[in-house]
Amino acid sequence: MIHHVVSWTLREDLDRDAGIARIRQLLTDLIAVVPSVRSLQVVQNVAYPGKNQDVAVVATFDDLAGLDEYQVHPEHQAAAAEIRGLVTSRAAIDWQD
């Protein structure tokens, strides 16, 4: 199982709730179109604003090939492009268990 976590800090000029809602919509819509997604959840930070990032996606895939399929899928590419316009920073980690 591959676990994929990406977190972002939203642009300060955006409405936080609206930005998180848009990211949630963009990413959860991928569940129906990328077959390799086993689970996907978008979560928002509830502690230490200003220190922690605002929103994250937590997804799982059967294997690295499934993560690769997700990464290059055209719908994911389009979602990622829109998300880049909403955020100022990004961090990611992928691990296997």
pLDDT of residue 93: 98
pLDDT of residue 1: 98
Domain regions of the chain by residue span: 2-96
Q: Centre a 10 Å sphere on the Cβ of residue 72 and count the other Cβ atoms it contains.
A: 10
Q: Is 30 left (phi over 0), alpha (psi -120 to 50) or beta?
A: alpha
When pLDDT is cut at 50, 70 and 90, the band that residue 72 belongs to is very high
pLDDT of residue 48: 95
pTM, two decimal places: 0.95
Tokens 């590419």 found at? 77
Per-residue pLDDT tens for 31-60? 999 999 999 999 999 999 989 999 999 999
Strand order, beta sheet including 87-96: 37-44, 55-61, 2-10, 87-96
When pLDDT is cut at 50, 70 and 90, the band that residue 82 belongs to is very high
Cα dist from 93 to 25, 39, 58, whole Å: 21, 16, 10
* Among the four given CATH numbers 3.40.1050.10, 3.40.50.1000, 3.10.20.30, 3.30.70.100, the one describing domain 2-96: 3.30.70.100
User: How many angstroms separate the CA atoms of 80 and 59, rounded?
Assistant: 15
pLDDT of residue 86: 98
- Considering the chain, what percentage of its residues have pLDDT values greater than 90? 99
